[in-house]
Structure 1
Amino acid sequence: MRESGFTIGEEVKIKSSGEAVTIYKCQYVKNMKRYSYIVKEYPNTFFFEEELNRV
């Protein structure tokens, strides 16, 4: 398992909209071998690392 690309509390941008959001929670999805992230602004939606950019 590799290390998460973003940390909790880090501000990132959603690639599709360019909106700045804050990482709230991250979780490793074992069967997909990648991390998913929940952001404070959209707590019912998760994003994968490739859908987010550093600010």
Structure 2
Amino acid sequence: HTLKMRLDRFHNSWVGSRQSVRQWLALFSNYYNRLRPHQSLDNRTPADEVLN
């Protein structure tokens, strides 16, 4: 749900280049998968879950 909501906001307001889109997506992907804990994973990150 969080990813869809953020992508909708991003799509409706972005005025940058394709390269800046790629950079934003890479940063968001890193944050979402490696830094942000998820309640459904007992407050672990998806990266932590895959590594275990």
* TM-score, structure 2 normalization: 0.24
Q: Which has the higher strand share?
A: 1
Give the structure, 1 or 2, with the largest relative contact order (CA under 8 Å, sep 6 or more): 1
